Amino acid sequence: MPKIMIIEDNEDLRKLLENYLTKYGYQCVGLDNFDRVLTEFRENSPDLVLLDINLPSFDGFYWCRQIRKYSKCPIIFISAREGTMDQVMAIENGADDYITKPFSFEIVTAKVKSQLRRTLGEYALNQKEKVINFEGLKYYPEKLELEFNGKNYELSKKEATMIALLLERGDKVTSRDRLMEKMWDTDMFVDENTLNVYISRIRRVLKELGINDAVETIRGAGYRMKKTWEDNQ
């Protein structure tokens, strides 16, 4: 039974989420001590976190960063903030998805199922069967890890989904629609700015590994990988 931690300071909403998700077979842990977020997270080891932004003491962005130091479990923000920058900040701080209030519980359930399917279900199992190699740049799905020239980098779930598709496609163009469908696996609308943020993150990851300009933008078509490094690296 997947365990979901709900970090929401509105007690009524937190209990509604707990009751609704419990009916669908999830084990829910509702947090009401917001000074112990990281401690409770490490003690409970949830499979997914629903996280509000406006919390007492420290906001959700802060706690998302703290959780990311210890875990790559999916984190979905739930917030009344509808602005694009809030959603971009959530992603930049390590979130996997974002739901704006007010929301329908069906949307929450769909997004929870989507994230858990990738981490615990059939997609996660299928990813473990191979190593993806593009011209010496290797991605290890089981470890969510990129390797190049003796250096390793651990990816978030969304980063991993994107890099896996780009490396599998190699120098073939991957459309923005295909990337968004693969990364979010949902019929719900996803702002294209969100995809831009992840493309930028992947480029920064590759730069840390010593690879520059390898994700090429094909105007009006999408993206493709381009070998920009020498064989002797």
Backbone angles phi, psi at 89, to 5 degrees: -60, -40
What's the mean pLDDT in 172-200?
79
DSSP per residue, 63-132: HHHHHHTT----EEEEES---HHHHHHHHHTT-SEEEESS--HHHHHHHHHHHHHHHTSHHHHHHTT--E
pTM metric for this prediction:
0.60
Q: Look at residue 231 in the predicted model and tell me its pLDDT.
A: 59
Asked if the domains at 3-120 and 126-225 fall in one CATH topology, the answer is no
- All structural domains of the chain with their residue ranges: 3-120, 126-225
Class for the domain spanning 3-120: alpha beta
27 sits in which H/E element: strand 27-31
User: Quick one: what percent of the chain has pLDDT higher than 70?
Assistant: 91
Length of the chain in residues, anyone?
A: 233
Which CATH fold would you assign to the domain 126-225? Answer: Arc Repressor Mutant, subunit A (1.10.10)
pLDDT digit string, tens, across residues 41-78? 988 889 999 999 999 889 999 999 999 988 888 999 99
Q: Look at residue 121 in the predicted model and tell me its pLDDT.
A: 67
Could you give the CA distance from residue 228 to residue 212 in angstroms, rounded to a whole number?
A: 7
Q: Look at residue 57 in the predicted model and tell me its pLDDT.
A: 85
- Contact 224/216 with Cβ under 8 angstroms? yes
